[in-house]
Amino acid sequence: MAAKEELQALSKEVERKVKALEAEVLQLTEDLASSERARRAAETQRYALTLCVA
């Protein structure tokens, strides 16, 4: 019985870790999308400034 309980406890711990990693992946994906939007906005702004200077 102890082995079965230990296995169940390990399984729950692994499940918690998987959920935490899934949440981290989601957050990092959102951060990446935000960074890409900011990069595109900066590139657009840079292009507009080069037109003003030219």
* pLDDT digit string, tens, across residues 10-53: 999 999 999 999 999 999 999 999 999 999 999 999 999 999 98
Q: Is residue 47 part of a domain?
A: yes
Whole-prediction pTM value? 0.74
**How far lies 32's CA from each of 25, 38, 39, 42, in Å?**
10, 10, 10, 15
- Whole domain around residue 41: which residue ranges? 26-54
What is the distance between the alpha carbons of residues 43 and 30, in angstroms, rounded to a whole number? 20
The reported pLDDT for the residue numbered 1 is 79
Domain membership flag for residue 17: no
Residue 35 in any domain: the answer is yes
For the chain, the domain total comes to: 1
